[in-house]
């Protein structure tokens, strides 16, 4: 699949895509990323991308024309291509959205900047808006990098089997289980004994239980409207009984 990023700070992306999962995906050729400088789509001498807002407020707003031109230049066949504006007003990014994006042939990401983007971009150009959280970043660039990383993980061939199963588990709606490595004891803090048991069934059960426990404690919203499988309910009951015994 292919990502096209439209930005006034193209240089911001070089380092984030030069490591980790995205780099591997680029090397394998299963993901392609093109970063486009919005100023290349201006037609005036000063390559102006922003202007003062009508109605008189402080600050500058990104002009519509260069953004429309840029999107029209990079967008491939409709149908397999989606265009999104990164903005705090967008649909919150989660595993389901990341997976949806990964199933597209092309995703075009438009990075907002300054005090805003002319509303005609949101109303008449893009297919949707994406937010990475309820806070305001100084621009869409960091958000676009987050979207690319999260979506790339769902592109077939990007992460190994082992990892993708764990991805599934978050997409399935619960947090991850705790992980440990050597040493077995560090400053008196011990790795849970069950992990040395060699009993894979027991370990799997323990991991599921810890993941459920953590989810209920830290993110009750993730399980509030779900009916848990009987085995999961049993594991959680065990947990609350253990607490009563403490």
Q: Which residues contact ligand ADE (rule: CB under 6 A)?
A: 86-88, 112, 131-133, 135-137, 140, 143
Least distance (Å) from ligand ADE to the CB of residue 92? 9
Residue 86 or 158 having the CB closest to ligand ADE: 86
Pairwise CA distance, residues 82 & 59, whole Å: 30
**CA distances (Å), origin 240, targets 75, 156, 210, 215, 234:** 53, 39, 12, 14, 10
Residue 60 or 191 having the CB closest to ligand ADE: 60
Pairwise CA distance, residues 233 & 238, whole Å: 9
What interhelical angle do 95-102 and 161-171 show, nearest 10?
Answer: 130
Residue 152 or 212 having the CB closest to ligand ADE: 152
Residue 62 or 175 having the CB closest to ligand ADE: 62
Pairwise CA distance, residues 144 & 178, whole Å: 29
Residue 31 or 137 having the CB closest to ligand ADE: 137
Q: Are 111 and 165 in contact (CB under 8 A)?
A: no
Least distance (Å) from ligand ADE to the CB of residue 136? 5
Least distance (Å) from ligand ADE to the CB of residue 64? 17
Q: Are 178 and 210 in contact (CB under 8 A)?
A: yes
φ/ψ of residue 180, rounded to 5: -140, 155
Least distance (Å) from ligand ADE to the CB of residue 90? 6
How many angstroms from the chain centroid is the CA of residue 35?
A: 18
Residue 70 or 86 having the CB closest to ligand ADE: 86
Q: Which residue is nearest to ligand ADE (CB)?
A: 143
Least distance (Å) from ligand ADE to the CB of residue 114? 10
Least distance (Å) from ligand ADE to the CB of residue 167? 22
Determine which helix (DSSP H) or strand (DSSP E) holds 187, and give its type and residue range. Answer: none
């Amino acid at each position: 699949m292919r990502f096209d990023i439209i930005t006034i700070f193209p240089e911001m992306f070089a380092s984030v895509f030069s490591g980790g999962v995205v780099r591997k995906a680029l090397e394998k050729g299963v993901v392609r990323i093109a970063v486009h400088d919005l100023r290349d789509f201006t037609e005036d001498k000063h390559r102006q991308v922003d202007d003062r807002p009508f109605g008189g407020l402080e600050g500058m707003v990104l002009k519509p024309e260069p953004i429309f031109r840029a999107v029209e230049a990079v967008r491939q066949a409709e149908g397999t291509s989606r265009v999104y504006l990164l903005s705090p007003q967008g649909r919150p990014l989660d595993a389901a959205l990341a997976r949806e994006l990964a199933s597209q042939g092309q995703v075009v990401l438009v990075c907002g900047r300054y005090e805003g983007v002319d509303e005609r971009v949101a109303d008449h150009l893009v297919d949707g808006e994406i937010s990475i959280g309820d806070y305001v970043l100084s621009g869409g660039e960091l958000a676009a990098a987050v979207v690319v990383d999260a979506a790339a993980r769902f592109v077939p061939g990007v992460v190994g089997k082992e990892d993708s199963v764990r991805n599934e588990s978050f997409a399935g709606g619960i947090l991850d289980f705790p992980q440990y490595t050597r040493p077995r004891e560090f400053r008196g803090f011990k790795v849970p004994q069950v992990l040395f048991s060699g009993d894979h069934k027991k370990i799997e059960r323990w991991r599921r239980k810890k993941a459920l426990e953590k989810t209920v404690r830290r993110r009750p919203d993730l399980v509030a409207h779900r009916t848990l499988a009987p085995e999961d309910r049993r594991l959680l009951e065990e947990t609350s009984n253990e607490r009563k015994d403490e």
